[in-house]
Structure 1
Amino acid sequence: MSTAPRTIKAYAAFGKDEECKPWEYQSRPLGSEDIEIKISHCGICGSDLHTMESGWGPSTYPCVVGHEIVGEVTLAGDKVQALKVGDRVGVGAQVWACLNKDPSSPCKECANGDDAYCARKVWTYNDTYANDGAISYGGYAEYVRVAHEYAFKIPDNIPSDVVAPLLCAGATVFTPLKEADVKPGKRVGVVGIGGLGHLGIQFAKAMGADAVVAFSRSANKEEEVRALGATEFVVYTDAKQAAAAANSVDVLLICANADNMPYTLFLSFLAVRGSCIMVGLPNDDVKFNAFGVVGKGAKFVGSNIGSIQDIKDMLEVASKKNVRAVVQKLPMSKVNEGIKMVRDGTIMDGTDLHQYGLMAACQTKQHEFAIEIFDYMHENEIEIAPTYSRTYQCALSLGDAAFVIEILDM
């Protein structure tokens, strides 16, 4: 086994106003607790765009983004026991944390299972490893090397294309729903039905919520959103519908990340002692009337991705309850087209870049799309539940999908 650095082909952004271009870099040496993954699929997340554009602060260029990664283990360090070469694994937004392993430098967050909030954590891209100063590079590439704890075995019944967005978007919405103890008896609302929101609806349903209420700007997604599992649909820009929805949900998950959102209105949807949870990250400041929280004894909180255990739990629920991301696919060579589609809002976040053949990248021909997906599933002997096929078809009628990129020509 070679632990030496590898030359990795990737697509990198070289400036905040530039497209991704082919680039090569030298990986870090493989550590004793690291694994190397040959990437088959990588989602396009909204965070990728913010980072490439230095929207959340100055990025380090060249920048290789992508943190919804699926692939096969090709190398494993000599201390890695939980994974082996050939395993199919996924990687999300984080690739390292201290995990409280150093007695001389205790970490309260990692000790409590909150490794997603570790002060020494390393993000999958545009971050720096403290021990050697190496920059982290993400999944728009042939390979990636990560700490083995942050590579998660993928359940056999979830195809690689639709599981990729779960590694970030899925964990991002599942974790706060888990922390809010969503179960029968709870009513859950989801604001923003895109890459995050369409998974939030599915997870809320999977966790047994009595009602899943979708809050949207317009009525044009109602049929499709109900097919994903929403039991009620509210157009919050309609004054009568918004008023009727007051005090109607126990948990409100805000997945939207647009600027100038009406947060005071959103808080009106909460029941007494309800919880409003932010997972979308707008570029502007969040403003709301304090009476919307104080007057109801409500909570307004945030949630950041998920811990190691949260991601494992998320994948288990997704496997058992048939939660799947809705995806479109493009070859890696068309990554800039996918980025533009996410930026322009012509699809949901979560486009998938993958390596092994373009299967159904057609937005407008939903029947052809469905047929190709079904053929793909059949070839891999994966059972298709009825809700799974409906999810694909309803999403394509909108042109909404998570994006998956294929690396056909690296």
Structure 2
Amino acid sequence: MAQPDYKFAGWIGLAPETADGKMVWQEFEPKEWEETDIDIKVTHCGICGSDLHTLRSGWGPTKYPCCVGHEIIGIAVRVGSKAVGDIKVGNRFGVVGTYNGIHLHGGKSYGGYSLYNRTPSNFVIKIPDAIPSADAAPMLCGGVTVYSPLKHNGCGPGKRVGIIGVGGLGHFGVLFTKALGADKVVAISRKASKSADSLQMGADTYIATEDEPDWATKYARSLDLIVCTVSSSKMPMTEYLGLHATNGSLVQAGLPEDGSLFANVRNLILRVKVDSSFIGSPNEIREMLYLVAEKG
């Protein structure tokens, strides 16, 4: 196959201080082409907290130069002869680019703050026609990061579910908890400023932990499942654990840069399971997108 007539270029980070708005636009060398790959012309890319963590080496040393942006939507412009799945040039696809990763046969992965992206075809996900690209992009990480633990822990009828943090992940958490049919959806954040948005998205109750002095007592033992989306080790975890009914589950989806974990005797008393979750599989992303297309 002839070499493509397009160039791979994007916003590149060269050092940790790049995270302070110092990315530079330049060309980069993608992984060597394999016939199982596809090239995507990027049309949309979500903005994710992972971008900052990676740029500043917050989760460990980054392999500079790097190009972040890992919620990628675009059009296939080159498809390898051994690509898996029903992938055709001109079709719209998404990929969660594991930027800063090393491919099996060499070469480093680059993200979607770029003109083009090269990726192995088994990571490519077709986007349902009913979902606009601008909406689909942030779901590829932010959406599935909460969808996966919700499904894995049986979110649905009969469950009372809390979502800690109403940022990018938390918004999806509230929406998916409602769409999956939970009996009760509780949004939890520090201030009351996000209450109106949370209730509009489908939350039944909103807890403002810094504005309600008695919140921990008022809502004690009222939830079966909590998904925490906050990437901070400075949370009132003792009080959060106390919101669980006996045999409840808390899933930590946010990843603090300092790597701190928590432990508290309260989860032993109430038999609360403490778990973790990180992004989700391509199949879970497909399932999530089908749900979104169905529910509108």
Secondary structure (helix, strand or coil) at the match of 2:74 reads strand
Give aligned-pair identity as a percent. 41
Alpha-carbon distance, 1:5 to partner: 9.7
Alpha-carbon distance, 1:221 to partner: 1.1
1:90 corresponds, among 66, 86, 94, to 94
- Equivalence for 2:261: 286
Alpha-carbon distance, 1:181 to partner: 1.2
Alpha-carbon distance, 1:242 to partner: 2.3
**Aligned partners of 2:51, 2:155: CA distance in 1, in Å?**
29
**Retained in 2: the 8 A contact 1:5–1:29?**
no
**Retained in 1: the 8 A contact 2:53–2:257?**
no
Matched, 1:317 2:285: no
After TM superposition, the structure 1 = structure 2 runs for residues 205-224 of structure 1, keeping only pairs within 5 Å, are: 205-224=178-197
Secondary structure (helix, strand or coil) at the match of 2:224 reads strand
Alpha-carbon distance, 1:3 to partner: 5.8
- Equivalence for 2:171: 198
**Aligned partners of 2:282, 2:263: CA distance in 1, in Å?**
33
After TM superposition, the structure 1 = structure 2 runs for residues 187-336 of structure 1, keeping only pairs within 5 Å, are: 187-237=160-210, 238-284=212-258, 285-289=260-264, 291-322=265-296
**Retained in 1: the 8 A contact 2:31–2:103?**
no
2:145 corresponds, among 172, 187, 207, to 172
Q: Deviations over 1:374-405 (max 9, x none)?
A: xxxxxxxxxxxxxxxxxxxxxxxxxxxxxxxx
**Aligned partners of 1:125, 1:232: CA distance in 2, in Å?**
37
So what's the TM-score if we normalise by structure 1?
A: 0.68
Q: Deviations over 1:56-79 (max 9, x none)?
A: 111111110110110011111112
**Aligned partners of 2:277, 2:287: CA distance in 1, in Å?**
16
- Equivalence for 2:103: 129
**Aligned partners of 1:210, 1:10: CA distance in 2, in Å?**
45
Alpha-carbon distance, 1:321 to partner: 1.7
**Retained in 1: the 8 A contact 2:7–2:116?**
no
Alpha-carbon distance, 1:20 to partner: 0.8
After TM superposition, the structure 1 = structure 2 runs for residues 328-367 of structure 1, keeping only pairs within 5 Å, are: none
Alpha-carbon distance, 1:30 to partner: 2.6
Q: Which amino acid aligns with 2:189?
A: S
**Aligned partners of 1:54, 1:147: CA distance in 2, in Å?**
25
**Retained in 2: the 8 A contact 1:189–1:252?**
yes
Q: Deviations over 1:333-361 (max 9, x none)?
A: xxxxxxxxxxxxxxxxxxxxxxxxxxxxx
**Retained in 1: the 8 A contact 2:250–2:273?**
yes
Q: Which amino acid aligns with 2:235?
A: M
**Aligned partners of 2:241, 2:120: CA distance in 1, in Å?**
40
1:254–1:5 distance in 2 versus 1, CA, 3 Å: farther
Q: Deviations over 1:159-180 (max 9, x none)?
A: 1111100000111100010101
**Aligned partners of 1:196, 1:58: CA distance in 2, in Å?**
25
**Aligned partners of 1:250, 1:137: CA distance in 2, in Å?**
39
1:3–1:152 distance in 2 versus 1, CA, 3 Å: farther
- Equivalence for 1:41: 44
- Equivalence for 1:392: none
**Retained in 2: the 8 A contact 1:235–1:242?**
no
Q: Deviations over 1:96-135 (max 9, x none)?
A: xxxxxxxxxxxxxxxxxxxxxxxxxxxx211112322x11
Matched, 1:67 2:40: no
Alpha-carbon distance, 1:157 to partner: 1.0
Q: Which amino acid aligns with 1:7?
A: K
- Equivalence for 1:156: 129
**Aligned partners of 1:78, 1:153: CA distance in 2, in Å?**
18
Q: Which amino acid aligns with 1:26?
A: E
Secondary structure (helix, strand or coil) at the match of 2:8 reads strand
Alpha-carbon distance, 1:241 to partner: 2.2
**Aligned partners of 2:263, 2:238: CA distance in 1, in Å?**
5
Structure 2: runs of 5+ lacking an equivalent: none
Q: Which amino acid aligns with 1:177?
A: L
1:145 corresponds, among 99, 118, 124, to 118
Alpha-carbon distance, 1:224 to partner: 1.1
Alpha-carbon distance, 1:152 to partner: 0.7
1:227–1:2 distance in 2 versus 1, CA, 3 Å: farther
**Aligned partners of 2:289, 2:120: CA distance in 1, in Å?**
19
**Retained in 2: the 8 A contact 1:5–1:28?**
no
Structure 1: runs of 5+ lacking an equivalent: 94-123, 323-410
**Retained in 2: the 8 A contact 1:197–1:255?**
yes
Q: Which amino acid aligns with 1:48?
A: D
- Equivalence for 2:57: 54
Q: Which has the higher contact order (CA 8 A, sep 6+)?
A: 1
**Retained in 1: the 8 A contact 2:30–2:108?**
no
CA RMSD, Structure 1 to Structure 2 (Å): 1.5
Q: Deviations over 1:188-243 (max 9, x none)?
A: 10000001000000000000001100111011111111111111111123232221
**Aligned partners of 2:252, 2:225: CA distance in 1, in Å?**
11
Q: Which amino acid aligns with 1:212?
A: V
